[in-house]
Structure 1
Amino acid sequence: MRLVLLAGASGSGKSRLARQVGALVVRLDDFYLDAGPSLPRTGTGIDWDDVRTWDAAGALAALRALLDAGAADVPEYSLVENRRTGTRRLDASGRGCVVAEGIFAIELLPLARAAGLPAEGIYLDRPRTLVAALRLRRDLHQHRKPPLVLLRRGAALWRAQPGLRARALAAGFRPLTMRQAIAHLGSGDAAVG
């Protein structure tokens, strides 16, 4: 079974891409930790972009279970409530590809490879103004946070997107446009490494 870690800016279309190619999707955002006083903070609250807000070991265990056993129980996380609200069962039966997507895919790729998982890294490379518009539309529609928070966070993410891309490429991710990624993931010829 093929394992792809899919990185890209928040709102770049990672979930849409994974669904479009028929992959089993593992939402890495579901591995956030419940909000609490021990999580890293910024001036406006918890810093959800800090990797310390996220359960890397749990994500790795779920990916290993999917590859080894074909199924895994994963948390369900509410971004509105800032906590885990339950679990769900993922079943990889009949799927040739598992796509794990989320903002911490960059940090997960070297961990997955060190753990012996055959992971390929793809960075969904899209223009940052387009990504900002798509992200704002999604976040407003899903009522993720108050609009002013979304606008402030959106501006910060817009400024940070070139650095995110550079970090992904330095970690071993391959930059692909949406069209290139659809063709690559649909072709079945993954190039691990």
Structure 2
Amino acid sequence: MSSHPPIPTRVVLLAGPSGSGKSSFAARSGLPVLCLDDFYKEGDDPTLPLVPGTSDIDWDAPDSWDADAALAAIGELCRTGRTRVPVYDIATSSRTGEDPLDIERTPLFIAEGVFAADLVRRCADLGVLADALCLRGRPSTTFRRRLLRDLREGRKSVPFLLRRGWRLMRAERGIVARQTALGAHPCAKAEALGRLTAAAAGRCAKGRTTAQAR
């Protein structure tokens, strides 16, 4: 029986604007994935923010999301290799159940979502952060990819999706800047893959230090 201590499990936080390709990139990585979008608040939550000057819920504001619950799930995965995750229906803005997630003590997993960068400092403080990335691309490409996805999945009404799409396209550079300021490294998919490979090998990616997350 080996006397070596178990390899600790760490997380790569994968952020980026809505439609930047986070989910597809994470799925292709071959690593276990925690979808942070499942931690959105429900549509009747009185603390949900509104888009200024409208009656639209601002699902792109951090207050629309339960950061504490998401962090608890990440911590539990790192400690035990398993947790329970809400099943969230975006079309109805509601939690419809709960599913188990078991990563079987894999030493690295991805937690991806629009607000992943908001957890960089807290994951660093817990000692579980392997890296934090922010996928970025051309705002027009992101707009097209996001709209096609949301229409295909029937996420919200068409007028809502168009209003949100134009707003996010205009705000995209600011979104990337905010996530970068929170400690996520902005990069395209090719660089993100290289940093992910480095994290899986137990190496710190160049330019990524805990100090950046503070």
Q: CA offset at residue 184 of structure 1?
A: 2.6
Alignment of 1:30-109 (within 5 A): 30-36=38-44, 38=46, 39-42=48-51, 43-93=54-104, 95-109=106-120
Is the 8 Å Cα contact of residues 21 and 186 (structure 1) preserved in structure 2? no
Structure showing greater radius of gyration is 2
Is the 8 Å Cα contact of residues 80 and 105 (structure 2) preserved in structure 1? no
Q: Which residue of 1 aligns with 2:15?
A: 7
Residue range with higher mean Cα deviation, 144-153 or 112-121: 112-121
- In terms of fraction of residues, the more strand-rich structure is 1
Task: Report the TM-score, using the length of structure 1 for normalisation.
Answer: 0.93
Q: CA offset at residue 121 of structure 1?
A: 0.8
Change in Cα spacing, 1:190 to 1:140, as seen in structure 2 (3 Å) is farther
Q: CA offset at residue 119 of structure 1?
A: 4.3
Q: Distance in 2 between matches of 1:109 and 1:16?
A: 21
Q: Which secondary structure state, in structure 1, belongs to the residue aligned with residue 104 of structure 2?
A: coil
Q: CA offset at residue 153 of structure 1?
A: 0.5
Is the 8 Å Cα contact of residues 15 and 133 (structure 2) preserved in structure 1? yes
> What amino acid is aligned across from residue 7 of structure 1 in structure 2?
A
Task: Report the TM-score, using the length of structure 2 for normalisation.
Answer: 0.84
Q: Distance in 2 between matches of 1:165 and 1:41?
A: 21
Q: CA offset at residue 59 of structure 1?
A: 0.6
The count of aligned residue pairs is 193
Identity of matched residues, %: 39
Q: Which secondary structure state, in structure 1, belongs to the residue aligned with residue 109 of structure 2?
A: strand
Q: Distance in 2 between matches of 1:177 and 1:95?
A: 25
Q: Which residue of 2 aligns with 1:117?
A: 128
Change in Cα spacing, 1:18 to 1:177, as seen in structure 2 (3 Å) is same
Q: CA offset at residue 152 of structure 1?
A: 1.0
Over the residues paired in the alignment, what is the CA RMSD in angstroms?
1.6
Q: Distance in 1 between matches of 2:190 and 2:130?
A: 21
Q: CA offset at residue 116 of structure 1?
A: 3.4
Q: Which secondary structure state, in structure 2, belongs to the residue aligned with residue 121 of structure 1?
A: strand
Alignment of 1:149-188 (within 5 A): 149-187=160-198, 188=200
Structure 1 runs (4+) greater than 4 angstroms displaced? none
Residue range with higher mean Cα deviation, 39-48 or 23-32: 39-48
